[in-house]
Amino acid sequence: MSSGFHLVVCGSLVPDPLQTLEPVTGPAGPALKNEMMLPSVLDPWAGHALYEAAHLAESAPDSKVWLVSLGPKARLQQLMMSIAQKVPFELVALDGSAGGFTDPTEVAAVLANAVQGIAGLERDRLLLFGGCASASRDAGATMQMVGERLGITEQFLAVDELTVECDGSLKVLERIEGAQYQISVCAGPPAVLAWATGNLPEPPNNPQVGMVNMRSVMPALQRAQPAPVAAEGVKFLDVTVPRQQRDTRIVRDMPVDEIARELVDWIRG
């Protein structure tokens, strides 16, 4: 059997955080004003997962990386024009909403079905990567539910580091409460790893990688199947952007206890 991995990364687009986001209520429920016109970037946590997967595939011969993305086809195409030059991957596109007003259960269902439909994917070599959260639909449970639907019980949901040991086992550094880490050892694939930050910077653009990727990206976008994730049965009563509030006073030589008391009174007020 080959020693390489089959790495499937679940990740999609989010609005550029430098843009002003204004919630509106449309015919289909809550949405963002001019959402289709907003510039998009790869979800930061999904980006960590993708870069870590590409690095692992490079170090393990005969490995392959797939990127499963759920979002509007037109916006996915724009996103791929930028990230396709970063790392080698094969795209699996799903045409659906990438907004935050979706149900994680429905998102997990369509992602799991897409993973199961990947031709040539070998379960005993499968490592399912994704973000531990999302900048648009931060349920914090999507990857866990995808793994459950695929019958993968070895799950690590806040990973910062992955090391492949000499015997093929996986050593995982995972965040836990109290600003501490838990070190786990998994015998091997299949496993789910939801990445927190990882250790790798964003790779530089490589036009040659981009040209190779785009040969499969465009056909994948054309074959993208509709994936309704409309959160049926969920009703949003109100959606607003948190308001900023800043009250500043400059006071000299104020006792620490008095500062703490004023802060508590301000928070309670």
Assess if residue 253 is contained within a domain.
no
Number of domains observed in the structure of the chain:
1
The secondary structure of 206-256, three-state, reads CHHHHHHHHHHHHHHHHCCEECCCCCCCCCCCCCCCCCCCCCCCCCCCCCH
Quick one: what percent of the chain has pLDDT higher than 70? 84
Assess if residue 219 is contained within a domain.
yes
pTM over 0.95: no
Cross-strand partners of 174: 159, 182
CB hemisphere CA count around 227 (13 angstroms) = 28
> How many CB atoms lie under 10 A from the CB of residue 90?
16
Assess if residue 182 is contained within a domain.
yes
pLDDT tens-place string over residues 191-250: 999 988 877 778 888 889 889 888 888 888 888 887 777 666 666 666 666 666 677 778
CATH number at residue 69: 3.40.50.620
Query: Comparing C-alpha atoms, which of 227, 221, 146, 223 is closest to residue 191?
Result: 146
Q: What is the DSSP letter of 123?
A: G
Query: For strand 155-164 and strand 225-226, is the pairing parallel, antiparallel, or unpaired?
Result: unpaired
pLDDT tens-place string over residues 104-138: 888 888 899 999 989 889 999 999 998 888 777 66
CB hemisphere CA count around 9 (13 angstroms) = 29
Q: Map tokens 């037109």 to a residue.
A: 74
For residue 107, the enclosing domain spans 6-226
151: left (phi over 0), alpha (psi -120 to 50) or beta: left
Assess if residue 236 is contained within a domain.
no
pLDDT tens-place string over residues 61-71: 899 999 998 88
pLDDT tens-place string over residues 151-195: 999 999 888 889 988 888 899 988 887 778 899 999 989 999 998
Assess if residue 246 is contained within a domain.
no
In this structure, the dihedral spanned by the alpha carbons of residues 73, 37, 141 and 162, taken in order and rounded to 10 degrees, is 80
Report which secondary-structure segment, H or E, holds 252: none
Report which secondary-structure segment, H or E, holds 173: strand 170-176
CA pair distance 163, 121, nearest whole angstrom: 22
Assess if residue 249 is contained within a domain.
no
Q: Map tokens 């390489």 to a residue.
A: 4
